[in-house]
């Protein structure tokens, strides 16, 4: 620190104030100190800084143990948003989805003196566990159902309505649905949006075929739909299952979109390279990350916890997997 102070032409106390992000240093002086730190390769001692400021500049994230596109993308978006404001992330993955696992993850993060916790809670059981979080801990839920905590979520129901309405507008009489697991909030909301549009338009509501988010389950579900003689359109609850559905239709000699139109959800990076390129809903994970950090930092800075719910609309992306029925 003495070398940094000498190179920047300031006192070691000024260097300390810059390191601890105190507002009493002018912007010109701050930039001079930061330039000196960079030139000398100086890295502040995080543990020592935490002792002085009482702030570790570390946030915790609780996530289910999964490689599914949605939760994994949420985690990456939160990490990037935290990095943008100078915070590190400590992650606790849930080995199983129950209250005890959530409690263990929560305690592990608090033992690391994180300043607040973001819980990615797409599963119904994890949302229920949030009801027992101590009131003095800054916490935000991501993709959770309605509850006692501030929450940021993509408007899954609105996305499903857009998909279903699009297919009906093309002239399809009704729309089949390959749904996700019943104990996931996203699956419930997407199914609800699909059903609401069909009922509002006084269309037949076909029986739901359910998968587990995987391509294999989408393949099996689509094969079961081939028995329906009036099948012309399918809304699939995620793009991974849509991959399997496209494979099943292709093996059966069913042309997509000439004979059956298909819409997915997520807009995974591969979606535009499916055969045909997939019409789908894009989730704005970056915005979810930024909004969740904003809600959390309000609490970290002393604001009381609220039940505010921030809902972010998905973007409908039309490609080549849908057309009017022939």
Tens digits of per-residue pLDDT, 46-94?
545 554 545 688 999 999 867 788 888 999 999 999 998 889 999 998 8
User: 58-154+284-313 has which CATH code?
Assistant: 3.40.50.2300
pTM: 0.82
Element (H, E) at 154: strand 151-154
Mean pLDDT of the chain: 90
Q: Decide if pLDDT at 292 tops 90.
A: yes
Calculate what percentage of the chain has a pLDDT beyond 70. 94
The domain spans of the chain are 2-53, 58-154+284-313, 156-283
Q: Decide if pLDDT at 181 tops 90.
A: yes
Closest C-alpha among 156, 132, 124, 153 to residue 141: 153
| Same topology between domain 58-154+284-313 and domain 156-283 | yes
Question: In CATH terms, is domain 156-283 a member of 3.40.50.300?
Answer: no
Output the pLDDT for position 62. 93
**Tokens for 115?**
């300043």
Which one is the CATH code of 2-53: 2.40.50.140, 1.10.150.120, 2.40.50.1020, 1.10.260.40? 1.10.260.40
| Alpha-carbon span 119 to 75, nearest angstrom | 10
Tens digits of per-residue pLDDT, 293-325?
999 999 999 999 998 999 999 999 999 999 999
Is the separation of the CB atoms in 207 and 282 below 8 Å? no
**Tokens for 10?**
């300031």
Outline where the chain has alpha helix (H): 2-8, 12-19, 27-40, 46-53, 69-84, 99-111, 124-129, 156-169, 185-200, 215-225, 239-251, 285-300
């Amino acid at each position: 620190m003495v070398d940094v102070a000498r190179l920047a032409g300031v006192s070691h106390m000024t260097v300390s104030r810059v390191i601890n992000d105190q507002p009493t240093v002018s912007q010109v002086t701050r930039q001079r100190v930061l330039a000196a730190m960079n030139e000398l390769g100086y890295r502040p001692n995080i543990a020592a800084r935490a002792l002085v400021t009482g702030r570790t500049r570390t946030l915790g994230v609780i996530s289910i143990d999964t490689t599914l596109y949605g939760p994994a993308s949420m985690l990456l978006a939160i990490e990037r948003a935290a990095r943008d404001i100078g915070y590190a992330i400590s992650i606790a993955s849930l080995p199983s989805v129950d209250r005890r696992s959530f409690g263990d993850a929560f305690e592990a993060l608090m033992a690391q003196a994180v300043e607040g916790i973001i819980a990615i809670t797409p599963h119904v059981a994890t949302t229920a566990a949030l009801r027992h979080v101590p009131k003095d801990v800054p916490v935000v839920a991501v993709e959770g159902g309605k509850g006692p905590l501030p929450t940021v979520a993509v408007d899954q129901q609105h996305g499903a309505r857009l998909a279903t309405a699009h297919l009906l507008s093309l002239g399809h009489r009704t729309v089949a649905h390959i749904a996700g697991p019943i104990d996931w909030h996203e699956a419930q909301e997407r199914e609800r949006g699909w059903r609401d549009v069909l009922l509002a338009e006084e269309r037949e509501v076909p029986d739901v075929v359910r998968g587990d988010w995987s391509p294999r389950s989408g393949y099996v579900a689509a094969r079961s739909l081939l028995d329906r003689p009036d099948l012309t359109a399918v809304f699939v609850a995620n793009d991974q299952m849509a991959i399997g559905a496209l494979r099943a239709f292709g093996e059966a000699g069913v042309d997509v979109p000439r004979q059956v139109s298909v819409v997915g959800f997520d807009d995974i990076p591969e979606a535009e390279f499916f055969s045909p390129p997939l019409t789908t809903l894009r989730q704005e994970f970056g915005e979810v990350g930024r909004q969740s950090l904003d809600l959390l930092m309000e609490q970290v800075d002393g604001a009381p916890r609220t039940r505010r719910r921030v809902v972010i609309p998905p973007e409908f992306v039309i490609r080549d997997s849908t057309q009017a029925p022939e």
